[in-house]
Amino acid sequence: MEWALALAAILAVAAVFFVARPFLRDPAPASDRLDELDPAARRHLELAEERDRALAALKELEFDHRTGKVSDDDYRAQVGPLRRRAAEALRALDGRETPSRERVPATHERLP
């Protein structure tokens, strides 16, 4: 079954080429360091999640109140702290700069 072996050989060559592609496209990069979130970016992400959680909780409380699941008294008791939480999270996010990452230059960029 020569055709089968030939096909297998072509497959293997194609696979090796595909696997080696990152090295072939960028043989001498300025930096080979893998992107990672620095502590500031991680903190930003945590705050963004906290913000989304607070906003989602407010939205659900409003919906539960509209559908009668939460009484007026319970709503009044919970909406204040939730709004404060959401405001704090928004303030904390606004107070931070846009987070940075360890930036890996694209292959077409030239460094000075």
Partner 1 sequence: MAPLGRAALILAFGLVAYAFVAGSYAAWKRRRRLALSAQNALLAAFPVTLIAAVVLLVALGRRDMTFVYVWQHTSHDLPLAYAFSAFWGGPEGSLLLWFLVLTGYAGIAVWLNRRSRELIAWVVPVFGLIAFFFGFMLCFVSSPFNLQPAPPDGNGMVPSLQNPYMLAHPPLLYLGYVGLSVPFAFAMGALLSGRTDERWIVATRRWTLAAWTFLGVGQLLGAHWAYTEIGWGGYYAWDPVENAALMPWLASTAFLHSVMIQEKRGMLKVWNMVLVALAFNLSLFGTFLTRSGVLDSIHAFSKSSVGGWFLGFLAVMVVLSVALIYLRLPLLRTKTRLESLVSREATFLYNNLLLVALCLTILWGVLYPVLSEAVRGQTRSVSKPYYDFFLHTFGLPLLLLMGLGPLVAWRRASLRSLGKTFLVPFTGAVVTGAILLALGFDSSWAGLLAYTFAAFVTVSILLEFVRGRLATGSFSRLISRNRRRYGGYLVHAAVVLLAIGIAGSSAYQTIRENTHLRPGQSITAAGYTITYTGLTGTKGPDYTGYRALLTASGHGERFSLSPGQSVYTGDNQSNDASIYHDPRTLGDVFTKAALAGRHGTTIDLQVYVKPLVNLIWAAGFLFVAGSLVAMWPDAVEQRRLAARYAAGAAPVGI
Q: Which amino acid belongs to residue 56?
A: A
CA distances from 60 to 16, 56, 66 (A): 52, 6, 10
Told to check if 10 binds partner 1 by CB under 8 A, we report no
Q: How many residues sit in the footprint of partner 1 (CB under 8 A)?
A: 52
The Cα 94–Cα 51 span in angstroms is 11
- Contact residues toward partner 1 (CB under 8 A) are 1, 4-5, 7-8, 11-12, 15, 18-23, 26, 29, 31-37, 41-42, 44-46, 48-50, 52-53, 56-57, 60-61, 63-64, 66-71, 73-74, 78, 98-99, 101, 104
